[in-house]
Amino acid sequence: MENPFLATLPLQKPAGLSSNGKFTLTEHPVLYPFLQRLEGYKTNLKGHHWHGYNNSTHVRIDEFFDIVADAQDAIAECGMGVYGIMTLGFTATPSANWEIMSLCQNIINDFIYINKQLESDDKNLGLLNRIQDVIEQLQQHKLFIEYSLAGVRD
């Protein structure tokens, strides 16, 4: 299943195995590029956070950012537990400058895509549980952002 959002930007992945010759998280063809993409999304979200929307939207975007940041950390740590260390040299994959609602939906779509990519391997169960929880949280908080932009009170 091709994800148009993951396919829009080049993926950056250092080559080589760890010094002990084992597969590392850095070499994972799906997880590592996903973590890089999340780093780019976080930068874009911070730009929207500081943009000057109303206070409610400012707060809601910050909450959405926190979910993405916490998920990135948890996925990286869980991924290292399954696949091995991540080598130094981690970089962000920049995201396009979407308007806030499109950005939020693209982030959710990427989480849905990564979930589908990992579901065929039982060793990913911990990752999948975390990712599915994140998808639900992001969908809820995207709705909160939409309501705050429309002036609807919590």
**pLDDT digit string, tens, across residues 20-61:** 556 688 888 899 999 999 999 999 999 999 987 899 999 999
Please compute the mean of the pLDDT values over residues 7-19 and round it to a whole number.
46
Does the pLDDT at position 11 exceed 50? no
Of the candidates 40, 61, 52, the one whose C-alpha atom is nearest the C-alpha of residue 148 is 61
CATH code at 25-149: 1.20.1260.10
What whole-number distance in Å separates Cα of residue 127 and Cα of residue 75? 6
What whole-number distance in Å separates Cα of residue 85 and Cα of residue 18? 8
Query: Confidence class of residue 153 from pLDDT cuts 50, 70 and 90?
Result: low
Does residue 134 contact residue 67 with C-beta atoms inside 8 Å? yes
* Structure tokens, 134: 């994140």
